[in-house]
Amino acid sequence: MSRELSHVEHIKQRSRFLRGSLLESLADNHTGAIREDDTALIKFHGSYQQDDRDLREERRQQKLEPAYSFMIRTRTPGGVVTPEQWLALDAVAMRFANHSLRLTTRQAFQFHGVIKRELKATLQAINASLIDTVSACGDVNRNVLVSANPLLSQAHAEVHDWARRLSLHLKPSSRAYSELWLDEERIAGGEPESEPLYGETYLPRKFKIAFAIPPDNDVDVFAHDLGFIAVIENGVLAGFNVSVGGGMGATHGDASTYPLLGHLIGFVTPGQLFAVAEAVLTSQRDFGNREQRKHARLKYTIEKLGLDAFRREVESRAGFSLAPLRDFRFDHNGDRFGWREGHDGRWHLTLRIEAGRIADKPDALHLTGLREIAIVHTGEFRLTPNQNLVIANVGARQRGDIDAQVQRHGLDLYRHATPLRLNALACVALPTCGLAMAEAERYLPELLQKVEGLLKRHGLSNAPIHLRISGCPNGCSRPYLGEIALVGKAPGRYNLMLGADRQGQRLNALYRENIDETAFLAALDALFADYAAGRESDEGFGDFLLRRNVVQPARNIAIKVIP
């Protein structure tokens, strides 16, 4: 096997802590792009260079360069923003981006379509609202996920606070971001720069952390490199069960890449949280594969070292042994919609936002509606890990006003949509994602309508089936945890995956490869007929398919536990 470091490792190494030639790239008015090496570095600053793929061919024929623009992603741990911040981000979307806010599967906002000339002004406008984009992408710890309803008890709020602090603790210390985008001066003769936690080549690959609060597994905790499952005993946060080595990404046709669920390795108290997170992260930093990026995620590092050896390494770095796991039970992944009352009598409204895209469309002015709500709302907005939105912390007397605004602007999908529609996830895919092989977000409404038609035919309209679609096998909508998943292979063609559970504890498996819409609708039609006739009461669609041996469990179906 090659021992040559991957190309990106060299770029990081000579980047002077993520500066590279970004200044020169930004100053070059001859192109809408940045230099190639800088495209790897700008990710660490929370942005991706993209081009409009709908226009690619036309521009090529016109001998024009691709229609370059930049995607920007926020670092918003747990996805919490104030109404003032919401208004600032809305203004950024309207002034600099494509007039939409995109809520992601990691509780962040994305802006699409920002042109190079306005990139700096856009990042400054975001930072002016006290939100940054540091490490939203790149080979570092990414936005930290937290169960979306942390106000349901005092302990929920504590978990959220731990996640926020951990996100700060694991933030790179390079000043490159402030210098490049916020015009902060370098202090002459100051301390030489260093990255105590990451080192000058950062991590081998992206690194993702999530905090789950049972019984909700809305964060899909086992899909992350590092998962913390809160253990709340008698209303008090006792600590966290720790899971390591989850990840969704795979490459078509390369059996050495695959999605995996995390392994539970023990329990830590809140006071041990930072030490164990650092120990896992630095173990990955030191043992992760830096030659082949396809094999660089923690899941492969753990397979290489062995789970026991990995746990011993973590314990030795943390300076303590992990305690035995505590009991927990998940009953649900996905979100719970509608109003819920918090522990303190305040109210939280979870709205369905289809594919996370908030825009003004002819039939519904969602961006405008949420702007108007932000003007009067006195609580917060919370993004869910499933691309939805919580209008959080509302007084009992304000509920009526919020309801009226929600209804006026057609934001009340949660009241009448089928469970299928409420729970479906779609990644961005075309036209902005450079890796998309097939449509996802743009195809979702039509797809749902067709699948809903089939469900209706079999009397299954109320079946809470989880469907996820992604435009390629990278897994941004966590498709391998969908009871039904379509994973893009080519324009109009998908792999049909089936059989995950609804707790986020079992991966699905390949059912049919590289099929078109007619074929996968026909396959689903037949399976829905069987399900309608043969399901046991409350039996999930994925569970049914497994019981009937329609699909065989994929690798790593059960979560490996070290006793």
Among the listed ranges 100-108, 120-128, 190-198, 312-320, the one in contact with ligand SRM (CB under 6 A) is: 100-108
Judged by beta carbon, residue 112 or residue 175, the one nearer ligand SRM is 112
Q: Which is nearer to ligand SRM, 83 or 356 (CB)?
A: 356
The angle subtended at Cα 86 by Cα 85 and Cα 89, nearest 5°, is 85
Nearest CA among 326, 407, 418, 420 for reference residue 372: 407
Whether 329 sits among the annotated catalytic residues: the reply is no
CA distance 233 to 244: 23
| Contact partner, 471, from ligand SRM, ligand SF4, none, Cβ < 5-8 Å per class | ligand SF4
- Bridge partners of 191, per DSSP, are none
Largest CA distance in the chain: 76
- The structure tokens listed for 62 are 């016109």
Question: What's the token pair of residue 307?
Answer: 């789970």
Q: What, of ligand SF4, ligand SRM, none, does residue 6 touch, CB below 5 to 8 Å by kind? A: none
Which member of 12, 43, 73, 116 is catalytic? Answer: 73
DSSP H or E run through 547: helix 541-547
Residue 223 binds to ligand SRM (criterion: CB under 6 A): yes
Establish if 129 lies at the interface with ligand SRM (CB under 6 A): no
To the nearest 10°, report the CA torsion of 186, 188, 192, 193.
0
CB 299, min distance to ligand SRM, A: 8
Q: CB–CB of 554/485 below 8 Å?
A: no
Active-site entry in 371, 433, 478, 489: 433
Q: Which residue number, 81 or 433, has a Cβ lying nearer to ligand SF4?
A: 433
Which of the stretches 116-124, 310-318, 432-440, 447-455 binds ligand SRM when contact is defined by CB under 6 A?
Answer: 432-440
Distance of CA 502 to CAs 75, 171, 333, 518, 555, Å? 28, 33, 6, 26, 18
Which ranges of 212-297 would DSSP assign to H, the alpha helix? 273-287
Q: Give me the residues that bind ligand SF4 (CB under 6 A), please.
A: 427-429, 433, 435-436, 440, 470-472, 474-476
Selected binder of ligand SRM within 12, 116, 160, 208 (CB under 6 A): 208
Q: Per the residue annotation, which of 12, 106, 205, 206 is the catalytic one? A: 206
Round to whole Å and give the CA distance between 369 and 268.
Answer: 43
Task: Check if 472 is active-site.
Answer: yes
Q: Are 109 and 102 in contact (CB under 8 A)?
A: yes
- 137 in active site: no
Active-site annotation holds for 433: yes
Q: Which is nearer to ligand SRM, 223 or 509 (CB)?
A: 223
Q: How far is residue 538 CA from its own chain's centroid?
A: 29
Could you tell me which of 208, 227, 204 has the C-alpha nearest to residue 286? 204
Q: Is 73 a catalytic residue?
A: yes
Q: What are phi and psi of 458, to 5 degrees?
A: -105, 15
Distance CA 132, CA 130 (A): 7
Under rule CB under 6 A, residue 227 binds ligand SRM: no
Beta carbon nearer to ligand SRM, 171 or 408 = 171
Phi, psi at residue 194, to the nearest 5°?
Answer: -150, 165
Q: Which is nearer to ligand SF4, 91 or 435 (CB)?
A: 435
Measured distance CA(145)–CA(137) in Å, rounded: 14
Q: Draw the binding track, 265-304, toward ligand SRM (x: CB under 6 A; -: no contact).
A: --------------------------------x-------
Q: How is residue 466 written in tokens?
A: 């989880």
Contact partner at residue 143 from ligand SRM, ligand SF4, none, CB < 5 to 8 Å by partner kind: ligand SRM
Is 95 an annotated catalytic residue?
no
Query: Residues binding ligand SRM: what is the number (CB under 6 A)?
Result: 31
Catalytic residue among 75, 102, 106, 208: 208
Q: Which is nearer to ligand SRM, 391 or 476 (CB)?
A: 476
Strand-pairing partners, residue 100, are 359
Active-site residue set: 73, 142, 206, 208, 427, 433, 472, 476
> Where on the chain is the footprint of ligand SRM (CB under 6 A)?
48, 50, 71, 73, 104-106, 108, 110, 142-143, 206, 208, 223, 247-249, 297, 356, 387, 427-428, 432-435, 474-478
